[in-house]
């Protein structure tokens, strides 16, 4: 089957307006880098997601599923096959009592705002995390000594057999920046968060405090993917990077932030290759100095030019 035939089948599932051809991925990543995706699709519901997955399997078409692209480096050659972006069109949020249900494309920051509106506490830590609910479940996103595992009740996922299953908190098997969703390649489509009734003013004050802390310590005015490296068991990545003399080190338009050495930032027209070369330099330098291996927290996808 040729590419045009496949596209017509995709259009039949999601509509013509939800499909783009040769879409620049730099428009969909917080790093602002990345070559074109052959076919870029934005689904409206889990039925469309399953149908697209099924079509890709039947036609041996590669597929990559993403959220808001805030933890992603897309290589300069782009992505072959289909990119399925679960975001704005699949982002409803519902509140019932102390439980919030959010679709996978909802931003964590918006879920946190809904929790504040309902005077529910527990999501304050996530108010500044720019990713989606789906991505947060896959990697057990966290900040300020809290993580999704602390508030998750259950998640609906699409499994290997394209069935929608509800997994409990225990079944999600969340660990540091991992879960069964990422380990098995499942796709999260919805989550329930079990929060606690609190005082609106106290919740807002906590969110305000964390926002000011982020503004003071993180380079929020520059494109990045947040913390570039996972926390090693032996120490903290920013501390190791700074002590290795790498603060301000640059390759092309990519630089180790002078404000927070745990961040690599795009200071202007960086390529994915710049970022990946700088990641390699940081890993090699830190290992030579401390014999500690840093592991990237960002996901790298795509092809070189």
Asked whether the beta carbons of 63 and 53 are under 8 A apart, the reply is yes
Among the listed residues 177, 190, 249, 257, the single catalytic one is: 177
Residue identified by tokens 């590419």 is: 3
| Contact assessment for residue 120 and residue 196, using Cβ atoms and an 8 Å cutoff | yes
Residues 6+ apart with CB under 8 A from 268: 253
Q: Which of 114, 171, 283, 297 is catalytic?
A: 297
**How many Cβ atoms sit within 10 Å of the Cβ of residue 36?**
22
Give the C-alpha separation, 208 to 239, whole Å: 26
**CA triple 270-272-276, angle to 5 deg:** 110
- Cα–Cα dist 122/203, whole Å: 9
Q: Which of 289, 234, 224 is nearest to 262 (CA)?
A: 224
**Which among 83, 177, 169 has a CA at the least distance from the CA of 129?**
177
Residue with tokens 């982002």: 91
Token pair for 300:
């790298």
Main-chain phi, psi angles of 11, to 5 degrees:
-60, -40
Selected catalytic residue, list 91, 154, 227, 261: 227
Cα(292)–Cα(125) distance, integer angstroms = 29
- 227 catalytic per annotation: yes
Q: Is 177 a catalytic residue?
A: yes
Name beta bridge partners: 143: 146
Quick one: CA dihedral 58, 186, 33, 30, positive or negative? positive
190 catalytic residue (yes or no):
no
Q: In what order do the strands lie in the sheet with 93-96?
A: 93-96, 99-103, 187-194, 152-158, 164-168
| Residues involved in catalysis | 177, 227, 297
């Amino acid at each position: 089957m040729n590419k045009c035939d496949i596209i017509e089948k995709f259009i039949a599932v999601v509509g013509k307006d939800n499909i783009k051809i040769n879409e620049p991925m730099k428009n969909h990543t917080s790093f602002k880098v990345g070559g074109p995706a052959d076919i870029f699709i934005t689904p409206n519901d889990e039925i469309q997601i399953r149908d697209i997955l099924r079509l890709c399997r039947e036609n041996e078409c590669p597929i990559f599923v993403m959220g808001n692209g805030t933890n992603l480096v897309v290589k300069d050659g782009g992505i072959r096959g289909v990119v399925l972006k679960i975001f704005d069109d699949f982002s409803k949020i519902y509140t019932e009592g102390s439980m919030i249900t959010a679709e996978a494309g909802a931003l964590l920051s918006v879920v946190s705002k809904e929790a504040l509106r309902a005077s529910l506490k527990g999501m304050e830590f996530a108010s500044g995390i720019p990713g989606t609910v789906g991505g947060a479940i896959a990697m057990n996103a966290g900040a300020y000594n809290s993580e999704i595992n602390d508030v998750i009740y259950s998640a609906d996922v699409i499994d290997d057999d394209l069935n929608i299953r509800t997994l409990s908190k225990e079944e999600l098997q969340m660990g540091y920046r991992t879960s069964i969703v990422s380990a098995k390649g499942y796709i999260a489509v919805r989550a329930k968060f079990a929060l606690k009734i609190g005082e609106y003013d106290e919740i807002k004050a906590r969110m305000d405090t964390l926002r000011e802390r982020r503004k003071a310590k993180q380079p929020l005015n520059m494109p990045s993917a947040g913390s570039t490296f996972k926390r090693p068991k032996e120490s903290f990545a920013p501390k190791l990077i700074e002590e290795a003399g790498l603060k301000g080190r640059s390759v092309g338009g990519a630089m180790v932030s002078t404000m927070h050495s745990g961040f690599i930032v795009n200071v202007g027209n960086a390529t994915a290759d710049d970022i990946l070369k700088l990641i390699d330099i940081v890993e090699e330098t830190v290992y030579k100095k401390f014999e500690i291996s840093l592991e990237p927290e960002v996901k790298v996808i795509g092809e070189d030019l």
